[in-house]
Structure 1
């Protein structure tokens, strides 16, 4: 069984600035610091933030699953697309054969852009009920927190 969830969040910062955050390990540091209600810790297992980087995401207690490892499978700087797939634990332990997260940064004028967040998944038929556990809300929270962070740390145009 295949599934997909998608959401678009407006960001009040230029696409190039937003991509600097989303296309790097900086996003994980921001999320760990500012979304402790979702993530207890985000550890770099291997890599430098490029394709092939593996992260261990440890969730806050009470969120249903303790942790999983994800691998950056695509980082397209030209089109501002980053994809990560769960490679160990988490969704793979409850019948999913694929769980992929994608962020795409879409230019929307000089000083704003859109973060298109997508979750794609495949799940075995016998575990189909677990598809109801998939939610786009954490990705929405990440995009909204990124917007708040970028607004707080906005550089003056003259700088």
Structure 2
């Protein structure tokens, strides 16, 4: 089994605690509301929202990814860290065992945030995954997600 690790940073004009709450704690209600053209639903299918919880995200029809299941690995509200593993999805099922995402939200001097993310891809057997494609495609998708969250909070500052 091979392992690919990528690191990204995403700048967001939303305070770290607010971004953490939205991205980590309120994802099931907030993401389908912010991105209805991409996310049909997000729901906890096992657990209470803490570590060990399994979440299923169902994407809108016509997307390459129709669903994904995540397992929450750790949540630290005090230090604004959050990690989860993508444990099942309809893409890469023959090539990737799981993907673990570790997030750390830090403040910027302007009052916004930087989300520092480490993604670790656990590759099955001799399967090959294009690291540059992962970095390009999924980095852009995550950046787009954070920009949508940012736009939502800029338009709804009391949310």
Q: Same fold (TM over 0.5)?
A: yes
TM-score of the superposed pair, with normalisation by structure 2: 0.80
Render the CA deviation track for 1:11-35: whole Å, top value 9, x for unaligned. 22222222222230x1232221222
Preserved contact between residue 115 and residue 143 of structure 1 (Cα < 8 Å): no
Alpha-carbon offset, residue 4 of structure 1: 2.6
Alpha-carbon offset, residue 70 of structure 1: 0.8
The 3 A distance-change label for structure 1 pair 117 and 31 is farther
Gaps of 5+ in 2: none
The 3 A distance-change label for structure 1 pair 18 and 128 is same
Gaps of 5+ in 1: none
Preserved contact between residue 34 and residue 149 of structure 2 (Cα < 8 Å): no
Q: Quick check: 1:39 aligned with 2:39?
A: yes
Preserved contact between residue 51 and residue 75 of structure 1 (Cα < 8 Å): yes
The 3 A distance-change label for structure 1 pair 41 and 23 is closer
Preserved contact between residue 64 and residue 91 of structure 2 (Cα < 8 Å): no
| 1:13 alignment partner in structure 2 | 14
Alpha-carbon offset, residue 100 of structure 1: 1.5
Render the CA deviation track for 1:83-140: whole Å, top value 9, x for unaligned. 1112334357222122112332111126211122332201124321476763222221
| 1:141 alignment partner in structure 2 | 144
* Equivalences, count: 154
Q: RMSD of the TM alignment (CA)?
A: 2.4
TM-score of the superposed pair, with normalisation by structure 1: 0.80
Mapped to 2, the partners of 1:85 and 1:49 lie a distance apart of 14
Deviating above 3 A after TM superposition, structure 1's stretches of 4 or more consecutive aligned residues are 88-92, 129-134
